[in-house]
Structure 1
Amino acid sequence: MSSLPNQNMKASLNEREGLQVWWRLLRPHTLTAAFVPVFVGTMLAAIDQSINFWLFTAMLLASILIQAATNMFNEYYDFVRGLDNENSVGIGGTIVRDGIRPRTVLWLALSFFMIAALLGFYICAVSSWWIALIGIVSMLFGYLYTGGPYPIAYTPFGEVTAGFFMGTIIIGISYYIQTLTINSEVVIVSIPVAIFVGSILLANNIRDRVGDEENGRRTLAILFGHNGAVTLLGTLFTLAYVLTLVFILTNMLPIWSLITLLSLVKGVKAVKGFTGKSAPLEMLPAMVSTAKTNTIYGFLLGISLLLQLYLPIG
């Protein structure tokens, strides 16, 4: 692990030693995909009634832990299957570049799942035990994304799965545990968030397209090709913003939600960042911009709901 090429890659990615090794393992740029839906779902509930702060905190921590564990499973199983090496971009690199034992990463992921399960027990006890069933299914899919004999990440369904579970399902659960009800508007309003979450995976697969194809994956980026996948990314962004405007016009979202359009700048930057690029390292900034688009959009959407609560318009 101390070879010159390995050190050169670590330098190119500005990877440092010490605690940053474990921080990278979490893939922090993806953790906003766990924060955003919990925040949005809770703010939707806040408009209807007062919220339980401890439920919100428990749900947020459980969601982040599950996302981090999913990232670790990804790191572990991609290494076991030979997909990751010391030159792979976009991974934590704790195994292939930092020399952390694969079993350590696996056990850490399982530990995060167990802590999330304990938090889930509290959430169910305070709200409803039906949440336990949904939580177990969500955790199972988090594992099966890269684990198991037929990993979802190797198929064209990775983006849809991630968007559905990390977008719609988490928003729905976050709303339900506060109100003990669910309605169609909450599900519909979750669609743009689900699109942005799925787009993070699409951007990741665009960057890794060549290597993934060589290793037998059949992701959307591989099926569409580079240019087609970048066009798809731009189309998904456009759809998310158009839906947001439709929801505002139909009063499903407040007029305050127009502030989400400020995230459009990052979305455009992400698409342009992939255009005409071929090397994974040079596409890394576009990947980061995609994640930031989700973060900014989701945060502003939640803030717009909070503004409607305290400064209602219409």
Structure 2
Amino acid sequence: MASRLRRHLVACWRCARPPFLVLAPLCVGLAVTAAWVDGHAPGAGDIGWVLLAALLAHAAVNLFNEHHDFASGLDRQTRRTPFSGGSGTLIERPEAANAVLLAARLCLAAVVTIGAWFAWRIGPVMLSYGLFGVGLVLAYTGWLTRRPWLCLLAPGVGFGTLMVVGAYQALTGSVSTTALAASVPPTLLASALLLANQLPDIEADRSVGRYHLAISLGATHAARWVAVLVLAAFASIAPCVAAGWLPVEAWLMWLVLPAALWLAWRLWRLPPRAEAGDVSLLAPLLGLKVAVLLTSLALLNLGLGLAA
């Protein structure tokens, strides 16, 4: 019994995709540093609860996605890379599927509980963030992946708007132009990341009824959208600093610009064989996309922290 429980816990941990959960702290970090720039001093306890809610929300999305992909048969058709195609855990341990679904529900229930506490403290405005966030978690894999443009927007709204602006409101009780401006890069970069990760899985996703933007446009044109979103994230710093919505230290994010430009150039010139989901061609670009996302958001956090 103990060994079975341990195996199920390991499966749940792997299906939560812990290496990718670092995105949530970076987004919450932008809320915290934006609050510091605006002269607020959120307590460590509040920051901890907001961070926990963000981590659990991200884990819930991953767990629901892993269970859905296993149940639909998609897991047996994808060509996995370190950055796409799921973890493959439930292919190895199908007996853990119910445990993974239960873990997803428990994570979401914990997020709702934390959100309800902040709604009681801050006011009903927090319910709008909470309800929208729960809706995204539940609808993403089974519903939004069949609607190309909504599927593109959903990750950015979840990680950018909800995690940055929502966390800022939870920590300060208000919204500011600093928080809104700080949410733009993660919004664009998160949507770009999820679209990029769909490129190797076009045929597999199509076979189970999905219809996201990569399927709608094809790999070549979808890759160009990834390039546009990445460059737009960096370009957004200029008007935000010029308008005074972000401090000049936000330019630190541009230290990653050379890598972002090279990535955009490679994506724009993606050869035709990428339409067939050539993993050997796409995997290095997916890895660079993850590195650009995480490093740029870390530098933006650093810039806001230095300006506070």
Count of residue pairs the alignment pairs up: 290
- Residue 98 of structure 2: which of 93, 96, 103 is its match? 103
- Residue 175 of structure 2: which of 155, 163, 182 is its match? 182
Aligned to 1:143: 138
Aligned to 1:280: 279
TM-score by length of 2: 0.85
Question: Are residues 19 and 107 of structure 1, via their aligned partners in 2, closer, same or farther at CA, if it must alter by over 3 Å?
Answer: closer
Aligned to 2:230: 237
Indicate conservation of the 8 Å contact 2:185/2:236, yes or no.
yes
1:250 aligns with 2:240: no
- Residue 185 of structure 2: which of 181, 184, 192 is its match? 192
Please give the per-residue CA displacement for 1:1-29, whole angstroms capped at 9, x wherever unaligned.
xxxxxxxxxxxxxxxx9986544311234
Moved more, 54-63 or 153-162: 153-162
Aligned to 2:3: none
Please give the per-residue CA displacement for 1:181-223, whole angstroms capped at 9, x wherever unaligned.
1134532442221001111111111121222223332211122
CA RMSD of aligned residues (A): 2.4
Indicate conservation of the 8 Å contact 1:266/1:290, yes or no.
no
Aligned to 1:301: 300
Indicate conservation of the 8 Å contact 1:35/1:64, yes or no.
yes
Aligned to 1:154: 146
Question: Are residues 109 and 225 of structure 1, via their aligned partners in 2, closer, same or farther at CA, if it must alter by over 3 Å?
Answer: same
- Residue 197 of structure 2: which of 170, 194, 204 is its match? 204
Moved more, 54-63 or 79-88: 79-88
Gaps (5+ residues) in structure 1?
1-16, 310-314
The letter of the residue matching 1:155 is R
Aligned to 2:123: 128
Q: Secondary structure of the equivalent of 2:74?
A: coil
1:84 aligns with 2:79: no
Indicate conservation of the 8 Å contact 1:270/1:287, yes or no.
no
Indicate conservation of the 8 Å contact 1:200/1:290, yes or no.
yes
Give the structure with the higher percent helix: 2
Indicate conservation of the 8 Å contact 2:254/2:296, yes or no.
yes
Indicate conservation of the 8 Å contact 1:86/1:97, yes or no.
no
Q: Secondary structure of the equivalent of 1:84?
A: helix
Aligned to 2:34: 44
1:291 aligns with 2:283: no
